[in-house]
Amino acid sequence: MNKPKELSLWKVKYQETMKDIFSDRNSRQREAVESTEGRIRVVAGAGTGKTKALTHRYAYIVNVLGIDPANILCLTFTNKAAEEMRARISEMVQSGYYNDFVSTIHGFCVKFLRQEIYRLGFPKSFTVLDEEDFAAERAEYNQSPFKEGDTVSQPLQ
pLDDT tens, 3-40? 444 544 555 555 565 666 666 667 777 777 777 777 77
pLDDT at residue 71 in the model? 86
Task: Give backbone dihedrals phi and psi of 30, rounded to 5 degrees, phi first.
Answer: -65, -40
Q: Is 27 exposed, middle or buried (0-12, 13-18, 19+ CB in 10 A)?
A: exposed
Indicate the SS3 state at residue 76. Answer: strand
pLDDT at residue 12 in the model? 53
Residues 55 and 86: their CA atoms lie apart, in Å, by: 8
pLDDT at residue 83 in the model? 92
Residues of the chain short of pLDDT 70, as ranges, are 1-25, 95-99, 145-157
pLDDT at residue 23 in the model? 66
pLDDT at residue 7 in the model? 46
pLDDT at residue 155 in the model? 54
Residue 121 in any domain: the answer is: no
Residue 119 in any domain: the answer is: no
Residue 62 in any domain: the answer is: yes
pLDDT at residue 119 in the model? 92
pLDDT at residue 108 in the model? 92
Q: Which domain holds residue 51?
A: 5-105
Task: Give the predicted TM-score (pTM) of the model.
Answer: 0.63
Into how many domains does the chain fold? 1
Determine contact, residues 100/129, Cβ cutoff 8 Å. Answer: no
- Domain of 35, CATH number, reads 3.40.50.300
Residue 147 in any domain: the answer is: no
